[in-house]
């Protein structure tokens, strides 16, 4: 095919195209993904029985704010990276900050407790359910957000994929924290931290394959 | 170079608004810049000339089908360059065992390049179109190749105008994908 022919084809009857800002497409997908997570948690796991008791407020808020602090910057960077060239000097290293802070808090909490309590604080009642539920629930928002990013044009597929994983994992953790009855800071740091990191890693590996265009 | 970008950006804006002539000028100028860019990257061996042409055409199609991601408030060439570089890396990954490096350079450099020596790419448009679903092929054939208006094409095919537009867009995207997959390792 001659390039002239291609250009002639592309510039015949040019349809007006409106710029579609990525924040709208990606933002909508994140909101929609969040709603599906809530529905899944309600339907499959149920809320923790003491959710509305005053003693639960603080731990639930801790989990929610940890997940929110990973979610918001990840969504921001994903919006940037979903358009060509958006990856240029995005300070992605900032994204590890919440993990670092919660690890410090967990360390402080362990330091203030007798060493004999440490295993209970870390393992909790149901670490296995947490380890399995967060990644599995994350699959649905992951798929929705991948679909949205595919509408745009990311040019760094591994990083964009990792961000999709991080966003999906955080959304899933937000949903799961309404169910989870393990309230110690070390538990949140280890199991929420590990599962969200796992989702990020999966996204990093799957990105080049799922987001290619 | 910045002045060059301002000019190309004006053409792109007009193109986004539906100005076919401006869009044609833009694509022609981008094709020359991209040809020079890819020839430079792929070396000057005999094979690289048609390889560069293939890659340039793939990139033009990508620019066309993804033009909704260009923010008219931003300079144009960094956007074009990011797509060009993405397509280069993708191409090298598929066709070479080891990935040679694609260094980051000044995006505005790209606008200053020019190579009008047209070669023919390895893609056969008629054959590629033949692999599209009927609706997409007919919509592209009528509107993009024969130059019928969307409403004329809608009448001819019995589809709604919106369906014709969607089929053109999907068809072009599918073409771009086929071209990307067609490469032999």
Name the residue with higher pLDDT: B177 or A168.
Answer: A168
Contacts of A13 in chain B (CB under 8 A): 20, 143-144, 147-150
Q: DSSP string spanning A116-139?
A: GGHHHHHHTTTHHHHHHHHHHHHH
Whether the predicted pLDDT of B1 surpasses 50: no
Give the pLDDT score at B13: 95
Please report the number of interchain residue pairs, chain A to chain B, with beta-carbon separation below 8 angstroms.
Answer: 120
Q: Which of A122, A135, A211 is nearest to A170 (CA)?
A: A135
CA torsion B51-A13-B173-B56 (nearest 10°) is 20
Whether the predicted pLDDT of B47 surpasses 70: no
Q: What is the pLDDT of residues B152-161, one digit of tens each?
A: 999 988 899 9
Q: Do B118 and A14 touch (CB under 8 A)?
A: no
The CA distance from B156 to B48, in Å, is: 42
Q: In which band, very low, low, confident or very high, does the pLDDT at A24 lie, cut at 50, 70 and 90?
A: very high
Q: Please state, for a pLDDT cut of 70, what percent of chain A lies above it.
A: 100
Q: In which band, very low, low, confident or very high, does the pLDDT at A1 lie, cut at 50, 70 and 90?
A: confident
Q: Do A22 and B165 touch (CB under 8 A)?
A: no
Give the pLDDT score at A195: 96
Contacts of A3 in chain B (CB under 8 A): 31, 35, 53, 56-57, 60, 118, 121
| A184, B42, B61, B98 from B48: Cα distances, Å | 61, 6, 20, 17
Q: Which of B68, B4, B69, B65 is nearest to B32 (CA)?
A: B4
In this structure, are residues B16 and A19 in contact, taking their beta carbons and an 8 Å threshold?
yes
Q: What is the pLDDT of residues A25-69, one digit of tens each?
A: 999 999 999 999 999 999 999 888 888 888 788 888 999 999 999
State the best of B18, B69, B183 to mutate against chain A, taking most chain A CBs within 10 Å.
B69
Q: Please state, for a pLDDT cut of 90, what percent of chain A lies above it.
A: 69
Q: Do B144 and A88 touch (CB under 8 A)?
A: no
Q: What is the CA radius of gyration of chain A?
A: 20
pTM of the model: 0.88
Give the pLDDT score at A36: 96
Token duo for residue B132: 């599209």
Whether the predicted pLDDT of A16 surpasses 80: yes
The CA distance from A190 to A194, in Å, is: 6
Contacts of A4 in chain B (CB under 8 A): 118
Q: Do B68 and A17 touch (CB under 8 A)?
A: yes
Mean pLDDT of A8-34: 92
Mean pLDDT of A60-81: 94
Q: In which band, very low, low, confident or very high, does the pLDDT at B185 lie, cut at 50, 70 and 90?
A: very low
Q: Do B118 and A3 touch (CB under 8 A)?
A: yes
Q: Do B64 and A10 touch (CB under 8 A)?
A: yes
Of A83-97, B116-130, B132-146, minimum mean pLDDT range: B116-130
Q: What is the pLDDT of residues B21-44, one digit of tens each?
A: 999 999 999 999 999 999 888 875
Q: What is the pLDDT of residues B7-25, one digit of tens each?
A: 999 999 999 999 999 999 9
ipTM above 0.85, yes or no: yes
Token duo for residue A165: 């994983």
Q: In which band, very low, low, confident or very high, does the pLDDT at A84 lie, cut at 50, 70 and 90?
A: very high
Q: What is the pLDDT of residues B92-120, one digit of tens each?
A: 887 765 545 555 566 666 766 777 777 77
């Amino acid at each position: 095919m001659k390039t002239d022919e291609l250009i002639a084809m592309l510039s015949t009857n040019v349809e007006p195209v409106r710029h579609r800002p990525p924040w709208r497409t990606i933002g909508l997908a994140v909101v929609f993904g969040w709603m599906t997570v809530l529905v899944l948690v309600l339907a499959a796991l149920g809320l923790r029985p003491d959710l509305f008791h005053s003693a639960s407020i603080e731990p639930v808020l801790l989990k929610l704010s940890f997940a929110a602090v990973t979610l918001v910057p990840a969504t921001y960077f994903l919006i940037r990276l979903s358009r060509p060239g958006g990856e240029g000097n995005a300070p992605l290293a900032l994204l590890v900050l919440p993990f670092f802070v919660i690890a410090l808090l967990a360390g402080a909490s362990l330091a203030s407790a007798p060493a004999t309590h440490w295993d209970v604080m870390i393992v909790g009642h149901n670490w296995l359910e947490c380890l399995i539920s967060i990644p599995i629930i994350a699959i649905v928002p992951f798929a929705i957000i991948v679909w949205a990013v595919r509408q745009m044009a990311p040019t760094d597929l591994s990083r964009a994929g990792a961000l999709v994983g991080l966003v999906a994992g955080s959304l899933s953790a937000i949903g799961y924290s309404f169910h989870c009855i393990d309230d110690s800071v070390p538990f949140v740091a280890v199991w929420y931290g590990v599962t969200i990191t796992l989702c990020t890693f999966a996204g990093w590996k799957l990105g080049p394959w799922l987001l290619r265009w | 170079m910045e002045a060059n970008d301002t000019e190309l950006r004006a053409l792109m804006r007009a193109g986004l608004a539906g100005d076919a002539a401006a869009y044609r000028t833009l694509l022609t100028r981008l094709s020359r810049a991209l040809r020079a860019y890819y020839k430079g990257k792929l070396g000057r061996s005999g094979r690289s000339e048609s390889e560069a042409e293939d890659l340039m055409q793939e990139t033009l199609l990508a620019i066309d089908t993804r033009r909704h991601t260009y923010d008219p408030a931003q300079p144009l060439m960094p956007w074009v360059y990011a797509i060009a570089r993405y397509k280069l890396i993708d191409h090298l990954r598929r066709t070479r065992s080891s990935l040679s490096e694609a260094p980051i350079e000044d995006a505005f450099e790209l606008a200053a390049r020019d190579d009008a020596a047209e070669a023919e790419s390895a893609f056969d448009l008629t054959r590629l179109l033949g692999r599209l679903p009927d609706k997409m092929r007919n919509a592209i054939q009528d509107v993009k190749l024969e130059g019928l208006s969307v409403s004329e094409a809608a009448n001819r095919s019995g589809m709604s105008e919106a369906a014709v537009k969607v089929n053109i867009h999907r068809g072009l995207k599918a073409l771009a994908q086929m071209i990307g997959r067609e490469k032999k390792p």
